[in-house]
Amino acid sequence: MKIFIILLGLCFLLVNHSVGQTCDQIQYTTINDVRRSTKYKGKPGNLLCDKNFIQDDKWYRFDSVAGNKMPTQNPGTGFCGTYVPIWMKGTHPTTDNVVKDATACGAAPFVFPLGCGYSYAIKVIKCGNFFLYRLKDPQVCSLAYCAGDKLPNTQCSVTGETLPVCPGAIPRVTVGADIKHEDTEEIRLRCFWESPGNLTNVEYQARWFGDVNDKNPKVQANFTGLETPEFLFQPRIFGGQLNDKIGYAFHKNVYCTVRARFKTGSWSKWAASKRIYTGMEVTPTFIPINDCGETDREVIVTLRPHLPIRGNPVNVAVASPTTKLIDEICVVGDADGFHDCGMVFQPGHRVGRPMRFKLMTNCATGDKSATLEDTYQLQPGFFDFNKVNRFWVNHEFPEIKVRRTKFKRQQCWSTGDPHFFTFDGVRYDFYGRGTFVLYKNKYYGTEIQVRQRACNGGTPSCNCGVAIKENLFYKIYDMCYVTPGQPWWKNNVRSRLRTYQLRDFKFSRFYTKVTQQGSTTKFEVTLPSGVKVIVDRQSWGLNLNVWAPQDPGHPSEGLCGNNNGNPNDDFGQWHPANQFGEDQRIRTRLTHFDYKGSKYEEDQIDDGCDKRICVCSRGGLKRCGAEAEVICFPNLGSIDARARHQGSGIGQCDSRPRRAVSLEDDTVDDQDEIQGRRGQGGPWPPLSSRPVGKLEI
């Protein structure tokens, strides 16, 4: 087995103290890493990075053979084991137990002021023969704090590639998690890792966590460097036996962590794998129907297995409706994937590949002012008792709730530079720069992300992009980086808007209306959940308005607040507003702005050429084929009603419009309706900028 030699940038030992402002009362973390020395040159591909390791306003002590003090002079780019070293500007206190304010400087090249292009407000206290530092997370890579100015004996190895290993050297371990490839129906998960070359001097600890929020691991084990780098995690029912204490359950986000050390040395920090969802994801699980009207509407439900189908097929039955809210269930999908009113996942079905069915709501039934609610239960189907999948038969599906009611829609806006108004009526300003959650409702499967950038050359930030996603439906409007070499806000009326979008599916209540006047273009996006988003593109950026159902039982998250009718809890535990705003920052590398859609998934909705249709009616009646197609897409006189069921694709193989992948400069997709005419651009938004006009709901 080929082993890759990688070093860990950080290691810590937690020392227990109580909270206080004197040395014997401060809780701190000890960092022992010789590569933080000002004499140690970082190696490409193995640079230290303190992002997400150093926590804001936590106390740290440096203690290695390199030394225990931060340098007070710039060590220069590439030293301290990183690319941008962080040093302390000023002097250390000379009296014990006196806290001193100081500035930590990141010496980034070509970033002014030179030597301190990144700056952080820190504190330092002298504790006898060592110092404690209250540090800040540098937020970006590769930046790391320096400590000490010595290097150990050159006869030892700082990297651990050869023996002997220098004191304070720490191996880095990279960790992964996937599915164990076996010829069995039961699914075991595999944690694996890669480590330094001289494995005789390395040992590991590995842990599996049963869910992302679990504080304690389900199982853990120790390994030597000569053992196979693999740690398996079995399901809670394995080999016919219940192993609840050591096995994973369905519908959890499990992951593993591994740490390593050279024998007699310090442990590395825990390295975590990706998360694995243990089950079949069903979205959405709550479907609000607010704008039902007199005509029926179509609700698409997606089933997506995150674990493989092995051995026997997995049959999923759709329970018959019991109320008049859902008159018919039209099950539409690949011809070889359906069996009456159920779905069949065949062995070898690709992990992550979805299958879908459609609920055809009967909107014209009964008093529309009354609230109707129906619950559907998916369940393992037994089309052939001799072919039951022993693993998936234990899987429990979440309920799918459909509610027809009259929700009160509330408005939130982010306008100007930018000013916010939450659903519950709280006004505040937040000038953060980056990508943030504007609105999110996990029950609907809706998330709207906003990107704020510096604008007009000053302190304010403006909205330069918005990414709207609800399950597989998405629209992305982005003017942040459209002119290479120029700040986006300097383009004035020539600013371009780049869009990525799925074409409209009006029968699913996903569509966009576009109006244009002068340099201003307004996009009104309607989502299946009833959420409406108005993107008002000005020459300088975007004004954003979100209208969402007020549903206290299914509260929202994000800069728009929780939409529960109570303005006193919009900020939660975060005060003032800038702390609340920072909590909505998206810190992961990939955001919805990176989503370009899935042609495979979209073609499942688009393409009706190879589809099978079945109808499950009240009372358990099941009809498939041509009879079901007539029910789902009836002919109305000489007009084929299938044409108005836009997005169903049935019978429209040759004429259906293709999706719009990338559009620029006010180009819109097939379904956009442009009104108004082109004119002159508007002015820079005043500080009191407010949305103009109102949306009639």
pTM: 0.64
Q: Is residue 686 part of a domain?
A: no
Determine what percent of the chain is predicted with pLDDT higher than 90: 30
How many structural domains compose the chain? 4
Q: How far apart are CA 512 and CA 493, in angstroms?
A: 23
pLDDT band of 601, cuts 50, 70, 90: low
Q: Is residue 696 part of a domain?
A: no
Q: Is residue 197 part of a domain?
A: yes
Last residue of a domain, one of 234, 258, 277: 277
Based on the domain organization, do 433 and 399 belong to the same domain?
no
pLDDT over 60 at 434, yes or no: yes
Considering only CA atoms, which of 90, 88, 80 is closest in space to residue 104? Answer: 88
pLDDT band of 617, cuts 50, 70, 90: low
* Residue 94 in tokens: 């000379």
Query: In terms of pLDDT, which residue wins out, 324 or 400?
Result: 400
pLDDT tens per residue, range 582-595: 889 987 767 888 87
Q: Which value, in Å, is the radius of gyration of the alpha carbons in the chain?
A: 29
Considering only CA atoms, which of 91, 83, 90, 139 is closest in space to residue 107? Answer: 83
Residue 382 and residue 314 in contact, taking contact as beta carbons nearer than 8 Å: no
Considering only CA atoms, which of 189, 170, 173, 175 is closest in space to residue 272? Answer: 175
pLDDT band of 327, cuts 50, 70, 90: low
Based on the domain organization, do 208 and 66 belong to the same domain?
no
pLDDT over 80 at 341, yes or no: no
Task: Quote the domain boundaries for residue 301.
Answer: 281-404
Q: What are the C-alpha distances in Å from 516 to residues 147, 538, 679?
A: 58, 11, 9
Based on the domain organization, do 507 and 381 belong to the same domain?
no
Comparing 34-38, 555-559, 607-611, the range with the smallest average pLDDT is 607-611
Query: What's the helix, strand, coil split of the chain in %, to 5?
Result: 10, 40, 55
Considering only CA atoms, which of 453, 424, 454 is closest in space to residue 439? Answer: 424
Can you give the CATH number for the domain in which 216 is found? 2.60.40.10
First to last CA, the chain: 63
Position 127, amino acid: C
Whole-number average pLDDT of the chain: 76
Query: In terms of pLDDT, which residue wins out, 380 or 634?
Result: 380
Comparing 220-234, 313-327, 397-411, 508-522, the range with the smallest average pLDDT is 313-327
Per-position b or e across 634-650, b if 16+ CB within 10 A of its CB? eeeeeeeebeebbbbbb
Based on the domain organization, do 372 and 440 belong to the same domain?
no
Select the highest-mean-pLDDT range: 234-238, 253-257, 329-333: 253-257
pLDDT over 80 at 499, yes or no: no
DSSP 270: P
Based on the domain organization, do 550 and 500 belong to the same domain?
yes
Residue 613 and residue 628 in contact, taking contact as beta carbons nearer than 8 Å: yes
Phi and psi at 325, nearest 5°, equal: -65, -50
Q: Is residue 634 part of a domain?
A: no
Q: Is residue 349 part of a domain?
A: yes
Based on the domain organization, do 440 and 338 belong to the same domain?
no
Based on the domain organization, do 86 and 216 belong to the same domain?
no
Last residue of a domain, one of 227, 243, 277: 277
- Measured CA angle at 524 (ends 473, 648), to 5 deg: 40
Cis upstream peptide for 284 (omega within 30°): yes
Which 3 state secondary structure label does DSSP give 71? Answer: coil
Beta carbons within 8 Å of 569's beta carbon, 6+ residues apart: 562
Based on the domain organization, do 435 and 352 belong to the same domain?
no
Select the highest-mean-pLDDT range: 181-190, 298-307, 601-610, 640-649: 181-190
Q: Is residue 155 part of a domain?
A: no
pLDDT at 354: 80
Based on the domain organization, do 269 and 291 belong to the same domain?
no
Considering only CA atoms, which of 642, 624, 621, 546 is closest in space to residue 298? Answer: 642
Q: Is residue 623 part of a domain?
A: no
Q: What are the C-alpha distances in Å from 678 to residues 276, 372, 518, 682?
A: 50, 46, 4, 12
The mean pLDDT value for 228-248 works out to 89
Q: How far apart are CA 111 and CA 118, in angstroms?
A: 8
Based on the domain organization, do 22 and 135 belong to the same domain?
yes
Q: Is residue 5 part of a domain?
A: no
Based on the domain organization, do 24 and 101 belong to the same domain?
yes
Which 3 state secondary structure label does DSSP give 199? Answer: helix
Q: What are the C-alpha distances in Å from 239 to residues 187, 357, 388?
A: 11, 33, 15
Map tokens 């010496």 to a residue: 107
pLDDT tens per residue, range 373-405: 666 667 766 555 567 888 998 888 887 877 777
pLDDT tens per residue, range 446-481: 999 999 987 766 667 889 899 999 887 888 888 876
pLDDT over 80 at 93, yes or no: yes
- For the CA atoms of 415, 436, 121, 110, the dihedral, rounded to the nearest 10 degrees, stands at -90
Strand partners, 130: 127
Residue 313 and residue 390 in contact, taking contact as beta carbons nearer than 8 Å: no
pLDDT at 543: 94
- For the CA atoms of 322, 326, 328, 332, the dihedral, rounded to the nearest 10 degrees, stands at -120
Phi and psi at 490, nearest 5°, equal: -85, -5
Comparing 71-75, 276-280, 433-437, 658-662, the range with the smallest average pLDDT is 658-662
Based on the domain organization, do 463 and 515 belong to the same domain?
yes
Considering only CA atoms, which of 312, 282, 309 is closest in space to residue 378? Answer: 282
Cα 142 to its chain centre, rounded Å, is 23
Determine what percent of the chain is predicted with pLDDT higher than 70: 67
pLDDT over 80 at 650, yes or no: no
pLDDT over 70 at 563, yes or no: yes
Q: How far apart are CA 10 and CA 344, in angstroms?
A: 48
